[in-house]
A and B are shown apart, each in its own frame.
Chain A
Amino acid sequence: MSHDVFKADSKLPDRLLVALREQGYTTIGPTARDGAIVLDEIHASADLPVGLREDQEAGHYRLQARRDEAVFGHTVGPQSWKRYLFPPNHRLWAAKRSGGSFEIKPQHEADHRLAFIGVRPCELAALEIQDRVFFGEEHVDPHYAALRTRAFIVTVNCAEAAPTCFCGSMGTGPRAEDGYDLALTEILGRGRHEFLVEVGSERGATLLEALELKPAGKDALEAARKKAAELAGSMTRRVETDGLAEALMANLEHPHWAKTAERCLACANCTMVCPTCFCSTVEDVADLSGDHDERWRRWDSCFNSQHSYVHGGNMRPTIRSRYRQWLTHKFAGWIDQFGTSGCVGCGRCITWCPAAIDLTEELAALRGAVTT
């Protein structure tokens, strides 16, 4: 499919939202609420975080006003798109007793179609990672599959990175080359406010037809690619991925694990905000009559002490062992299991760690020589 590129003015977000809603999509996007940028249904560009940016550092997050009217001048807030495809609480089925046996009604997956507006390149990479988990060889998650295959993805390439971002070294951003239906690049400055629109699918192309946009010149795309490369190179946080998995698995007894464990609260924030973490638990919810039972699936975390519980004890009783599970799964186990790192460099776990633990620093320390 050809990589068509168009130019649009600042009315593009509203026009896109109208077009998508006319096609029956529920449009989800970033919006400012309670001092953070969260994801919710959006109806018009006024719902987007216009003129806002995020001040992010380890253990720190604050919204600030921008000096311009950028619509996508933020990066990533605490929530990720996984909550729509892999909801934090989800009923898998409902059962009722009948004639000495039972009947199970599968959850009817809502047939609504979601359009995600403002999916950052790192988040697109995270969706592709979760695809590998939920479209498994043994089991395809029907809920995820139904919503994911219907979802319309509007990516927004990043013009600025938060100090916590390290997609540049993870190879997941700040620009997406494919995997979306449409990709936007917002261009601001010298009185200009425009968008570059790249087409990534037939669906995307069809939607754009109605908008009658003008094609953009080749140089516009080149300029966007050049800017993205500069941005990637300017990120101060980095993870050296070469040989990282081997180094981590060879350093399972590195004394640094214990040092980190002294700071880590095992609060599980990092796994909740992470766009790729997929652990869940199940709970049976029975009614008082005892004739009805619902199976609910809820997000879980390897930081919860019950995560590895077996009769007679917890396999990972210490915070040291749980932190080690998290980091080695992300950067080593994941590669064996799914052929990709489990980290896309979005930096959420750094920002939302109440103890300001920064995994880029931890990884550097853990692959270093053992010093006591």
Chain B
Amino acid sequence: MTLTTKAETLRPVPYVLRDKWQETADTWSMALEPAEAWLQADRGEPGQFNMLWAFGVGESAISISGPTHGTGPLVHTIRACGNVTRKLCAMKAGEVVGLRGPYGKPWPIESLKGRDLIIMAGGIGLAPLRPVVYHILANREDFGRVSLLYGARRPEDILFANELSGWRGRMELDVLITVDAADSSWFGNVGTVTRLVRRNPFEVDGAAALVCGPEIMMQYSAQTLLDAGMNQDSIWVSMERNMKCGVGLCGHCQVGPEFVCKTGPVYPLERIANLLATREM
């Protein structure tokens, strides 16, 4: 049930900003609902993204960060870092946003049933992984032990902090957090997210890992997981590239033979490892 016909995929459709809340100093989440009755939202799957449009400014690729099951509004979490994202984050409830999507290949969660999972995120990279957590929580018995390893720059940059402690408190997943730098008021881990792999002993056999963050973080994380004994075919990463069209047409998101918007953003590591390891691809 896509909202647009094939030939119209470059035209956004109107969504109302129902609600908006601040996550960190520079990051907001927004709940969107179709602005018109005839629009039937395609909720997408965890790992997919939408192109969100601020009227008169432009579009940005933004991952779905809310639950993909159920019927609530579509949630996206946006870091204000440039023209479009700043404009989107400044919008008020009741205003209308343009949306087209969902695009891209999702995390392969259906195929991971029965396995232990390691979810590794850096910074805003937690946003596209949160729908995975929601899916797991809604189908908890389908998965084995689940560990969420999250790295943020500073304690105040930790995304979804309340939710993270809620998940930890309910013991439904192991939640380990680290920051790059902190003052003495922080009692948690300091250092890179890769260190959490060693702090969180896990059974390599049968485990799968989903990794999202800056490219360099994904490269080191993947290496750490491989060093710990995991296979390339059990690790998935989500690539971030400049995107203009989202449908394999504008050429901007290319990495080697891949159109990240179309064959990604989620890739099995074995498919992308060489490209990820080559500098300046």
Contact = CB atoms under 8 A, between A and B. Distances in A.
Contacts of B55: 95, 97, 102, 286, 293
A336 B257 contact: yes
A249 B275 CA distance: 10
Contacts of A336: 257
Given A101-B35, A315-B280, A133 B249 contact: yes
A227 interface: no
B205 to A, nearest CB: 33
Interface stretch (B56-64, B107-115, B193-201, B221-229): B56-64
A78 B230 CA distance: 53
Interface in B110-164: none
Contact of B251 (A141, A283, A302, A316): A302
B81 interface: yes
B10 A92 contact: yes
B58 A282 contact: yes
Contacts of A321: 279-281
A211 interface: no
Nearest to A144: B249
Main secondary structure of the interface of B (DSSP, over half): loop
A310 B241 contact: yes
A279 B252 contact: yes
A133 B245 CA distance: 13
A307 interface: yes
Nearest to B278: A252
Interface residues of A, number: 57
A260 to B, nearest CB: 14
Interface string A304-328: 0011111110011110110011001
Nearest to B261: A138
A280 B251 contact: yes
Contacts, number: 125
A166 to B, nearest CB: 23
A282 B244 contact: yes
A234 interface: no
B170 interface: no
Contacts of B231: none
Nearest to B252: A307
B242 A308 contact: yes
Contacts of B10: 92-93, 139, 295
B257 A337 contact: yes
A180 to B, nearest CB: 26
B240 interface: yes
Interface string A327-350: 011001101110000000000000
Interface of A: 92-93, 95, 97, 100-102, 104, 106, 133-134, 136-142, 145, 249, 252-253, 278-284, 286, 290, 293, 295, 300, 302, 306-312, 315-318, 320-321, 324-325, 328-329, 332-333, 335-337
